[in-house]
């Protein structure tokens, strides 16, 4: 099966029904050895492109991961980015907002962590939590210190979608390439992964009673994700719905998406000026002597 990242892209304006998107596809590699070889090849190419990205210093790349608990966000980030120079890449995980963060607008804590030109920023969860978790649990709106007129559930979500689209459009116009990945996990696969976290001692630390509590709201989260993906997948900041039941396949797809994003930037190594070249030749003669 050929891996084409565009097969998983949500096109702008397209309605999303997650039940019609697969959580598992046929393996791209028929064996573990071939999977390891392909992922190693992708990681090496990412490392090379990341060096060029840093040297060209024209764009920033923001990679956003969202998904249900247990979808494999941490593992995908760890495996896919394993060959990237840590100096050119930074990962931020967004948990429950702090008191300081709640004193600002919902985008503030993420905008403080945006990548600079020449760098890759990775958000493990993001400002999208404020149209996902908060939409599933609207009582959280009352903890955000908003004026009452901005807490109307009939209008607040559309307003937040517009704020997100405006932010991402602004970033795009200023050289930040945004790629958003939703790791699409089935409820049954989540159940199996939760059981593994309980049964395997070295995974116990991953398990939280809060995960089980949120599982009760599965259908509500599905609806929230469908609305979010439809409203915020744009030409310049697309969403990709990545089947996540097979972790190895998911990592290959994420790698391919990231490779395509970097290759589309049409980067080039900085050219040396005649003055700089003469200076380097002078230094070379000195070192040779």
pLDDT of 204 reads: 82
The pLDDT of 41-62, averaged and rounded, is: 95
**Helices and strands, number each (H, E), in the chain:** 11, 6
The pLDDT of 262-279, averaged and rounded, is: 88
Could you report the per-residue pLDDT of 206-220, keeping only the tens digit for each?
Answer: 778 877 889 999 999
Domain span including residue 46: 5-288
136 HSE (CA, 13 A, CB side):
20
CA distance 61 to 177: 5
Asked whether 5 and 241 are in contact (CB, 8 A), the reply is: no
pLDDT band at 58 (very low <50, low <70, confident <90, very high): very high
CA distance 177 to 63: 8
What would the two tokens of residue 192 be?
Answer: 């199996």
pLDDT of 157 reads: 96
What would the two tokens of residue 255 be?
Answer: 């790698």
Asked whether 172 and 236 are in contact (CB, 8 A), the reply is: yes
Could you report the per-residue pLDDT of 89-142, keeping only the tens digit for each?
Answer: 999 999 999 999 999 999 999 999 999 999 999 999 999 999 999 999 999 998
Asked whether 61 and 121 are in contact (CB, 8 A), the reply is: yes
| Backbone φ and ψ of 84, nearest 5° | -85, 140
Percent of the chain with pLDDT over 70: 100
Q: Is the pLDDT of residue 1 over 70?
A: no
The region that residue 14 occupies, defined by phi over 0 for left and psi between -120 and 50 for alpha, beta otherwise, is: beta
Burial 65-87 (b: 16+ CB within 10 A, else e): bbbbbbbbbeebbebbbebbeee
What would the two tokens of residue 164 be?
Answer: 């997100």
In the chain, how many domains are there?
Answer: 1
| Backbone φ and ψ of 239, nearest 5° | -95, 145
Q: What is the pTM of this model?
A: 0.92
- CATH number of the domain at 151, please: 3.40.50.300
What would the two tokens of residue 145 be?
Answer: 């210190």
Contacts of 159 (CB under 8 A, 6+ apart): 150
Nearest alpha carbon to residue 50 among 19, 75, 85, 78:
85
Q: Is the pLDDT of residue 201 over 90?
A: no
pLDDT of 203 reads: 83
Q: Where are the beta strands (DSSP E) in 113-272?
A: 120-124, 176-184, 239-243
Nearest alpha carbon to residue 137 among 213, 189, 207, 73:
213
């Amino acid at each position: 099966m050929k891996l084409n990242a565009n097969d998983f892209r949500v096109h702008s304006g397209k309605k999303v029904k997650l039940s019609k998107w697969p959580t598992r596809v046929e393996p791209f590699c028929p064996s573990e050895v071939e999977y390891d070889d392909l992922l190693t090849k992708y990681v090496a190419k990412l490392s090379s492109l990341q060096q060029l990205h840093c040297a060209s210093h024209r764009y920033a790349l923001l990679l956003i991961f969202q998904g249900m608990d247990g979808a494999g966000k941490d593992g995908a980030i760890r495996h896919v980015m394993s060959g990237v120079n840590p100096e050119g890449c930074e990962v931020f995980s967004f948990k429950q907002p702090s008191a300081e963060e709640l004193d600002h607008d919902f985008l503030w804590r993420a905008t403080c962590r945006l990548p600079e030109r020449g760098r890759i920023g990775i958000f493990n969860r993001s400002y999208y939590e404020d149209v996902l978790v908060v939409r599933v649990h609207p009582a959280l709106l009352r903890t955000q210190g908003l004026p009452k007129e901005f807490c109307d559930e009939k209008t607040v979500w559309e307003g937040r979608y517009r704020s997100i689209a405006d932010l991402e459009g602004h970033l795009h116009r200023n050289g930040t390439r945004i790629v958003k990945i939703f790791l699409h996990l089935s409820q049954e696969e989540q159940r199996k992964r939760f059981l593994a976290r309980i049964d395997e001692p070295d995974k116990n630390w991953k398990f939280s009673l809060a995960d089980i509590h949120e599982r009760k709201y599965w259908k509500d989260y599905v609806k929230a994700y469908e609305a979010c993906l439809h409203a915020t997948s744009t030409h310049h900041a697309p969403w990709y719905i990545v089947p996540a039941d097979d972790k190895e396949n998911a990592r290959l797809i994420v790698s391919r998406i990231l490779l395509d994003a970097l290759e589309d930037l049409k980067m080039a190594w900085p050219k040396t000026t005649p003055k700089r070249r003469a200076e380097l030749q002078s230094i070379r003669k000195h070192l040779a002597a």
